Structure formats: structure tokens, C-alpha cells
Amino acid sequence: MEEVKFITVRKLKEYFNFEQICGNEESLERPIMIADTNRPGLELAGYFDHSQLKRLVVLGDKEIAYIQTMSEHKQRKSFDFLTTAVTPAIIISKQYECPPLLKRIAKRKKFPIFVSSATTSRLIIDIVAFLDEQLAASDTLHGGLINIYGKGVLIRGESGMGKSEIALELVKRGHLLVADDRVDIYRIHNKIVGQPPEMLRGMLEIRGIGVINIQRMFGIASIVSKAEVALEICLMPWERNADYDRVGIENKKYDNLLGVEVPKIVIPVREGRSMAVIIESAVTNFILSEMGMDSAKEFEERVLQYIEENKRKEAALPTKQANTKKP
């Protein structure tokens, strides 16, 4: 069974430093399970069907202005509906004063209400972005994540393939280490973001040497806390009789990470090959292909053009021979 992710109202309050005007300590343990907010225009108007009660409620300019036009009876009915046991909290933007009746109902129910100085639109954007990251689908992968030319490159392969040694060489060449050995990935919208476990941040393990601190050896600019996974490179042992793609015109490969298709390149590892340089070249070629410059297609077009030219020459050859015959 898939684990249901949630954060508490307390974590939201502490992250944004909201001013709390209602609710007790127990109310701060309410779970937030949906990365979205509700501006309750319809609920204030008295329409309660199809309302998503598990969303955070945000009261902005329009809501506060409309509440001032409502009768006490309508306010009581709407406020009672908005302060259910499953609703995480109500947040009021722009330091607006909480409507007195809402405050009384919330205090009676020990329901959490917060006030923010942010504008309504900015408040919603910030909350949704925070919840998207906190509630994102996640997984843990064995491998390394390096920021190469601004692209997050996930390097995977069997144990003992030299992934950490390659990561060290790439860092020496000026690229940025995100994670080594273990990568925690999260799906945020339609992107996969990777980061290291807190304990392994900035660390890299080299067999025969042990764990080294990349930040201390190469400086703070040699690491980055997280990166979007744009490309996966899978290292595999070289097999003499294996049929490897030598041109790059075969069907593109992808790996499904948390439901997102990530481009994948398989590179055989063999003694004498500079894997750091090869991976740099693979990433550069990947960036060029994103810009519409596909080297494999260019080569294929050259081959086809060469074949066509030879056909034209062969077709023209008998005509020339016929024209040179004496009458």
C-alpha cells in the first residue's frame, strides 16, 4: 500500500513564521495532505457541495470584503463549514483583521487561524510551492548525481563500476557534486529533482581511501544541494561480443522515474577509456540535441547524400560513354 505523505500545520507555521491568532498546540498537529489551497468564494455564498475540505483555506481581499456584506446567520453557517475537523487551517493574507464571528467559532473549536503579511497571490504561490516539495512522491536510488554544464546527470550502474571515481574526476574538472552513492529523488510537477541524504551531503566514498569531504577539498562552489534530473547515464561492463550503437541513430532510450520519462544513455565501461571525458561529451551532445543539433541525424544525412551522389554518377556514366563513341 502506498504511503500517504503529509506534513503538520506546525511545520507550515514555522516555515512561514505565520502569526497565530487561534488554535492550541494540539491543533498544530493537524495533517496537510493536499498541495493546494482553497479560496472559499462559493462556500461563503452558501454553496457547500463538492468542496474539498482537506485543503488549506486562504482568505484574501475579495473574501474579507464579501464577509463584511454577509449577515450574521450566513457568516455563522459558512464559518462553521470552513472550520471542520479535517480542514488543516485558515490563513488570512495582508494582515487583515480576522472577522470577529470567525474568531469566536475558531476559539470554541480550537481551530488554527494564522495571519500573513504577504499579498494573497504571493501567499498562495509560496504555500503551493512549499507543499509541492514537501508532499512530492519520492524514491531512493543507488547512484550518483552530478551537475554537468547545468544539467543534472544521474550516473547509475552496478556496484564496483567506478561511479564515485568518475564523480571525483568530474568534480576536479569543474562540475558540481549533488550526491554520491545514494540519491533521494522527488517528483515535483513533471520534473524529477534529486538531492543527497543529509548525512551524505558533500561526501564522496573512494574505495581504498574512504570517505572524503568534497566541500573541504575543492571549496564550497564544488557542491550543490539539489538538481533536476535531466539525463540518466547507465554504466555497464564492456562485452566483447555485444552490439553497441556506434552512430546514435537507434531508438532513444528512457527510464521511468516516478512516472516521468527521463532520457537514458548506456555507456560501456572498459579499461583505458576516460569515462569523465566520455560523460562530458555525452552531456554536451545531449544539450546540442535539445537545441535541435543532432549529430547522429547529421551523419545519417551525409551518408544518404553520399549514396545519392554515387547513384547520380553511376547513372550518368553510360551516357558519357555513349557520347564519346565515334559515328
Which of 110, 142, 216, 253 is catalytic? The answer is 142
The residue to which cell 545519417 is assigned = 300
Residue 13 falls in the annotated catalytic set = no
**How many Cβ atoms sit within 10 Å of the Cβ of residue 68?**
8
Which of 13, 151, 156, 163 is catalytic? The answer is 163
Residue of 105, 110, 131 whose CA lies nearest to 29: 110
Residue of 185, 175, 177 whose CA lies nearest to 202: 177
Q: Rounded to whole angstroms, how far apart are CA atoms 25 and 64?
A: 26
Mapped onto helix, strand or coil, the DSSP state of residue 32 is: strand
Q: Rounded to whole angstroms, how far apart are CA atoms 243 and 239?
A: 9
Which of 13, 30, 175, 181 is catalytic? The answer is 181
Which of 246, 320, 325, 326 is catalytic? The answer is 246
Q: Rounded to whole angstroms, how far apart are CA atoms 112 and 89?
A: 5
What element of type H or E holds 124? Answer: helix 120-134
Strand 151-157 versus strand 90-92 pairing type: unpaired
* 84, 27 contact by CB (below 8 A): no
Residue 142 falls in the annotated catalytic set = yes
The DSSP result for 61-116, as a single string, is HHHHHHHTTS-HHHHHHHHHHHT-TT---EEE-TTPPPPHHHHHHHHHHT--EEE-
Residue 36 falls in the annotated catalytic set = no
Residues tagged active-site: 142, 163, 181, 246
